[in-house]
Amino acid sequence: MMVLTKKMIEIRSILQTVGQSNALTLPSIVVIGSQSSGKSSVLEAIVGHEFLPKGSNMVTRRPIELTLVNTPDAHAEYGEFPALGLGKITDFSQIQRTLTELNLAVPDSECVSDDPIQLTISSPHVPDLSLIDLPGYIQVAGHDQPLELKQKITDLCDKYIQPPNVILAISAADVDLANSTALRASRRVDPRGERTIGVVTKMDLVDATRGASILNDRKYPLRLGYVGVVSRVPQQPSHLFKRGNGGIASAITRNENAFFSAHPLEFGQESGVSVGTTTLRKKLMQVLEQTMAASLQSTSDAIRQELEEATYEFKVQYNDRPLSAESYLAESLDGFKHSFKEFTEHFGRPQVREMLKEELDQRVLDLLAAKYWNKPVTNLFPATAEPDSLADLPKADPDNLYWHRKLDASTSALTKLGIGRLATTVVANAIQANVDRLIAHSTFASHPFARQAITEAASGILNERFYSTSDQVENCIKPYKFEIDVEDGEWARGREHATGVLKNELRAVEEAVKNVEKNVGSKRKLKDVMGFVEKARKGEVIVGDDGKTGAGGFSSDLLERGKEALFLSDRAILLKLRLQALKSPQCATKANKYHCPEIFLDVVSTKLVSTAVLFLNVELLSEFFYQFPRELDIRLGRGLGREEVERFAREDPRVKGHLDVIRRKELLELVLEKMEGVRDLESSKRERERAR
Ligand code: GDP
């Protein structure tokens, strides 16, 4: 049993998952030969299956790194492409098709590529071997092939036939060995013939004496010798031998044995030459085992060096901090839930009340502006037939139905605004915005997958609660649609609050005017343009349609600013008038509510908000605060599979780097441990041999 090779092959597949550097490459047997020298046939005879691409049009375009794994206790034979994740393929014609596709994916214009295809074949009938099949050497490039193809193939093969690899040089018996491209190539890199095995195929095509003399060749002596084979699949009636998925090993061996035993003198025990696929297999196993043993030390050293680098990187870049995808997710989730908990402590009834009140204040402001203060400033003071201006409002006759209707209409415009929907929307939006803010400040910020999961968790709950919440709120404010009682205290607070709202609004407008001023450059200039716009409005000057060219010596841009400033200053005048009205002595008492719609509507909006908040708290906030962390657990905790957790963690490049270095370190430690074991095994074997 070739224990060492088996272990080393295991080790190599671990190293492959680490993304091993070239230094760690363990020895393989590299198969080279001219096109049609019988290279594929030899490999297939060793594997016992036809699985390599066939065809005349350069079908091997990429190196095939073939790992054979002996599975003595298993019945099944299968191939796997580790890089493709296709799983175990038991149909060898399927393997052949896949290999053909992978090779033909290299465009005709390039013809060869040095990107290897990895294929592992596991079977109780194969030895543990690692072989690399390369594109066959060509004599001259075909008319549809690039001229430099010959050189490209040579370069690719040269890359692989370096030490510590073993070279399997294939030559056909019916071609003079002196002309063998494979042997010539091997001689270049292995002039003393120390790591080359010569294989002479198609022994059946030359007569036995000549065949035997080829195998005894002394011109290019090889320490590992030559082996003669007949590895073509024999043509037999189909009932005796099934081509395709069935094994071809025994048919080849029978055919080969028949041929060689027919010439005992040339190929028999006494002849001193090696022949047969079985002999070749054994030789390959022995040679590879010895080569593996010889490279144990250097491979261990290379792995140790790699491990030291990984350890150093772990220490310097990651401070030796342990991490796993699971722990990272769990910590991130905990952190997020914690920040959510903090948010819930600062987002309760008072905050919701304030938010809603602000929203309604704005509505009241606009609503009253439309109902009471809807004339342009210039038209405000001239006496009109209708009592409808600041001039009239303070004198409003409380018995005049006109003012009653006006206030009633304003009030019902407010109560029938759709408070239920509005309030629920405002709060739901605020919650969603806060969740977004929490995400942005959490480790999840750099994880698109988690961001989406969290956002969806929040919107899912909010959407689900939306209709029932807004219905409940709407229902409970219903009484205010019919009757509103105001107490003295409420009136006083309303007056104060409404004053504050108007003042704030006025400040904002004045601020905006200042900004326009700044934009225009000077107060003076703005005044000029405002004057012009004012005149234009009254029809005193004519501004053409062509806004682009401007008018009155002002650019169109400047005119726009003038209009904006005029609008703002009109608004400021109105706001001042509204404030003035609020301050008037009439507004001190609720008895004069018809004089003071600003205060009355403020009181109404406060009542609406207080009632809405009670229901929003129960129906939306409490529910959300309870459900959201549970929903997070489902979407990002228990509900995630291992692979998803891994994929999640690796979304963040820093975490990926951290996880990679840990994995690399762990795998290298594992490999090194295994290597030590293998070395112990080897040295005890040597000791036993010495003792014998
Ligand atoms: P490759 O191009 O080097 O891979 O060569 P193949 O293995 O495809 O073989 C080329 C041709 O030689 C095919 O038609 C094979 O059937 C034939 N061939 C391979 N080995 C032998 C052999 O030992 N004896 C005979 N007579 N033909 C062989």
* Ligand 1 nearest-atom number relative to CA 37: 3
The preferred substitution site among 232, 235, 236, 248 for testing ligand 1, maximizing ligand atoms within 8 Å of CB, is 232
Q: Which of 408, 418, 404 is CA-nearest to residue 363? A: 418
- Entry pTM: 0.65
Window from 14-18, 286-290, 422-426, 639-643 with minimum mean pLDDT: 14-18
Q: Could you tell me if 609 and 356 are in contact, meaning their C-beta atoms sit under 8 angstroms apart?
A: yes
Ligand 1 centroid – CA 510 distance (Å)? 94
The token pair that represents 588 in the structure block: 């001190």
Ligand 1: residue whose CA is nearest its atom 19: 38
pLDDT of residue 686: 84
Q: From the CB of residue 18, how many other CB atoms can be counted at a distance below 10 Å?
A: 20
CA 543, CA 552: separation in Å to the nearest integer? Answer: 8
The token pair that represents 347 in the structure block: 């987002």
Mean pLDDT of the chain: 87
The token pair that represents 608 in the structure block: 């609406």
Which phi and psi (to 5°) does residue 118 adopt?
-100, 130
* Ligand 1 nearest-atom number relative to CA 205: 26
Higher pLDDT, 521 or 3: 521
Which phi and psi (to 5°) does residue 199 adopt?
-120, 125
What are residue 208's DSSP bridge partners?
Answer: none
Q: Could you tell me if 376 and 566 are in contact, meaning their C-beta atoms sit under 8 angstroms apart?
A: no
* Mean pLDDT along residues 502-507: 95
Ligand 1 centroid – CA 254 distance (Å)? 17
Name the residue type at position 63: P
Ligand 1: residue whose CA is nearest its atom 9: 38
Give the tens place of pLDDT for each residue, 27-41. Answer: 899 999 999 999 999
Using 50, 70 and 90 to split pLDDT, how confident is the model at 274?
A: very high
Window from 124-133, 223-232, 295-304, 505-514 with minimum mean pLDDT: 295-304
Name the residue type at position 475: N
pLDDT of residue 391: 52
pLDDT of residue 381: 44
* Mean pLDDT along residues 371-386: 54
pLDDT of residue 99: 95
Name the residue type at position 607: K
DSSP 378: G
* Ligand 1 nearest-atom number relative to CA 230: 23
Ligand 1 centroid – CA 44 distance (Å)? 11
Ligand 1 centroid – CA 232 distance (Å)? 6
| E strand spans, 154-281 | 166-172, 196-201, 226-228, 274-275
Ligand 1: residue whose CA is nearest its atom 1: 36
pLDDT of residue 675: 87
Give the angle subtended at the CA of 609 by the CAs of 604 and 610, to the nearest 5°.
100
Ligand 1 centroid – CA 90 distance (Å)? 25
Ligand 1 centroid – CA 231 distance (Å)? 7
CA 612, CA 625: separation in Å to the nearest integer? Answer: 18
Ligand 1 centroid – CA 191 distance (Å)? 28
* Ligand 1 nearest-atom number relative to CA 203: 23
Window from 60-64, 180-184, 226-230, 537-541 with minimum mean pLDDT: 537-541
* Mean pLDDT along residues 555-568: 88
* Mean pLDDT along residues 560-567: 90
What are residue 68's DSSP bridge partners?
Answer: 121, 129
- How many percent of the chain have pLDDT more than 70? 92
pLDDT of residue 538: 78
Using 50, 70 and 90 to split pLDDT, how confident is the model at 398?
A: low
* Mean pLDDT along residues 123-147: 86
The radius of gyration of the chain from alpha carbons, rounded to an integer in Å, stands at: 45
Mode of pairing for the β-strands spanning 129-133 and 117-123: unpaired
Using 50, 70 and 90 to split pLDDT, how confident is the model at 21?
A: low
Ligand 1 contacts (CB < 6 A) are 33, 35-41, 136, 201-202, 204-205, 230-232
Ligand 1 centroid – CA 38 distance (Å)? 4
CA 547, CA 556: separation in Å to the nearest integer? Answer: 6
Q: Could you tell me if 581 and 390 are in contact, meaning their C-beta atoms sit under 8 angstroms apart?
A: yes
Give the tens place of pLDDT for each residue, 649-683. Answer: 888 888 899 999 998 899 999 988 988 888 888 88
DSSP 636: I
Using 50, 70 and 90 to split pLDDT, how confident is the model at 555?
A: confident
pLDDT of residue 16: 75
Give the tens place of pLDDT for each residue, 189-206. Answer: 999 999 999 999 999 999
* Ligand 1 nearest-atom number relative to CA 231: 23
* Helical (H) or strand (E) element with 129: strand 129-133
* Ligand 1 nearest-atom number relative to CA 41: 7
Ligand 1 centroid – CA 56 distance (Å)? 12
* Ligand 1 nearest-atom number relative to CA 44: 7
pLDDT over threshold 70, residue 382: no
Residues in the chain: 692
Q: Could you tell me if 69 and 84 are in contact, meaning their C-beta atoms sit under 8 angstroms apart?
A: no
pLDDT of residue 492: 94
Ligand 1 centroid – CA 96 distance (Å)? 17
Ligand 1: residue whose CA is nearest its atom 10: 36
Query: So what's the ipTM on this one?
Result: 0.99
The preferred substitution site among 36, 103, 199 for testing ligand 1, maximizing ligand atoms within 8 Å of CB, is 36
Ligand 1: residue whose CA is nearest its atom 11: 36
pLDDT of residue 599: 93
Give the tens place of pLDDT for each residue, 429-476. Answer: 999 999 999 999 999 998 888 999 999 999 999 999 999 999 999 999
The preferred substitution site among 37, 41, 199, 243 for testing ligand 1, maximizing ligand atoms within 8 Å of CB, is 41
Neighbour-count burial of 5, counting CB atoms closer than 10 A to its CB (0-12 exposed, 13-18 middle, 19+ buried): buried
Ligand 1: residue whose CA is nearest its atom 22: 202
DSSP 223: T
CA 84, CA 258: separation in Å to the nearest integer? Answer: 41
pLDDT over threshold 60, residue 239: no
pLDDT of residue 339: 96
pLDDT over threshold 90, residue 610: yes
Ligand 1 centroid – CA 227 distance (Å)? 16
Higher pLDDT, 632 or 59: 632
